[in-house]
Chains A and B, each alone.
Chain A
Amino acid sequence: MDIRVASDDASAPVTDEELVRRLRDGDDWAGEDLATRHCSSLLRFLQRLVHSDHLAEELHQQTWTSALENLDKFEVTSGNGGFKAWLYRIATNKAHDHWRSRGREKKAKEGLRLVTEEAAPDAGHRLEGAEAEAKLRAAMELLPQSQKEVLLLRYYGNLKFVEIAEMLGCPLNTALGRMHKAMIRLRQLLADDAPVESRTS
């Protein structure tokens, strides 16, 4: 029977990197702890990023599988952000891979979805299909992809701008500019009373 080993210093929270170290040493509970910490936010991040529950779920599993398979490559002491930044980097790359492989199909479906969404919301969201929700979702979807990535990484991953810039391979000023534009755009989209879908992005 597995018994959880308490941290040496009970008052200090165990860092992700410490949990990674324990997991590498064979402590499965450390892996459970890591999952508990990041599962929900990572799922939400992917859900907002790809606008599909099914795909978000699939990418979520791929992300964790990839993270576990490459756990030995993660440098605990590196200055490239911690485990969380690494995990979100994998998730973002998985989403990019998916878009790259299904680029044409996505573009075709994107237009169709925006047209039909208002008229026929899917069953999963029918009961929650308030106007506000539809408006919020549509506003998020109308954000340019590069801006949305920064916004979501910031919100769900709580990553630093430096980490986000490094993750996306862009200068810090670019990441900050994208964040600023995303916030302004979102405010504009939500401020107007007109349906978001009717406006051009």
Chain B
Amino acid sequence: MKSYLQHLENNEAILLMYLGNELPDQDRVEVEEMLASDARLRAELENLRLTQQLAWDALGSLDAMTRPPMSPIAAQNRMSQLLREWSDRRRQPKIGVSVSPRKIPWWRGSFAAAASLMIGYYIWAVYHTAGMHRLSALPPPTYVLTDNDKLSLLRNSFEISDSEDSSLAEHVAEVASVAPEDSADSSPGSDLNSTGAQ
């Protein structure tokens, strides 16, 4: 049995262990030798013994003066009931637990993993391709500038004053009249004149 004396911090700890008869024999003999030679330690032990006795008396008196939370008979009945319930639960066969779990062949795992990978790749490929198709199917963006827009851009770019504005409109009208027939139809040669007139 291991010695406690080396580990106990003070006299109170040693004496409490001694009083409680919890020291190994070797420690006990050593403490008794110290007590025999040290009157102060003996007084300390006696004081501790009385203090402990007072605490035990206090708790004993308190128990004698107060009722327990429940009567011993009621407590015993409650315990019997708990025990019966526990025993019943314990004796019931466990439902839902298979006696011998089914053995799965080793290759099934590998097969399942490979199949999962293939399915995953297939799904990814399908979605990826479909996404590309969707992008290519979109019409190219078209931006059509009207004559008014073009005039506004020129005015803003070259900071044209009001006096120069009428000559610019005329110049634009001339350019529009020189432009080929087909482009003049689709873009806004026709309303250039009206814009210039304004």
Contact = CB atoms under 8 A, between A and B. Distances in A.
Contacts of B183: none
Contacts of A9: none
A172 B69 contact: no
B68 A172 contact: no
Contacts of A128: 65-67
Given A53-B69, A186-B54, A39 B9 contact: no
B133 interface: no
Range of interface residues on B (Cβ < 8 Å): 35 or more
Interface stretch (A58-66, A89-97, A103-111, A112-120): A58-66
Contacts of A48: 59, 62
B159 interface: no
Nearest to A27: B87
A179 B63 contact: no
Interface string B29-68: 0000000000000000000100110111011011101111
Interface stretch (A10-18, A80-88, A135-143): A135-143
A196 to B, nearest CB: 11
Interface residues of A, number: 52
B76 A35 contact: yes
B83 A28 contact: yes
A190 B82 contact: no
A187 B61 contact: no
Interface of B: 4, 7-9, 12-13, 16-17, 20, 22, 48, 51-52, 54-56, 58-59, 61-63, 65-70, 72, 75-76, 78-80, 82-84, 86-87, 90-91
22 contacts: A28-B84, A31-B83, A47-B66, A48-B59, A53-B67, A60-B75, A64-B79, A128-B66, A140-B59, A151-B55, A152-B59, A173-B8, A176-B13, A176-B16, A177-B9, A177-B13, A180-B13, A183-B52, A183-B54, A184-B51, A187-B55, A190-B58
Given A47-B66, A124-B67, 18 more contacts: A26-B87, A26-B90, A26-B91, A43-B68, A48-B59, A48-B62, A64-B79, A68-B82, A125-B67, A128-B67, A132-B65, A133-B65, A152-B59, A160-B20, A160-B22, A176-B12, A180-B16, A190-B54
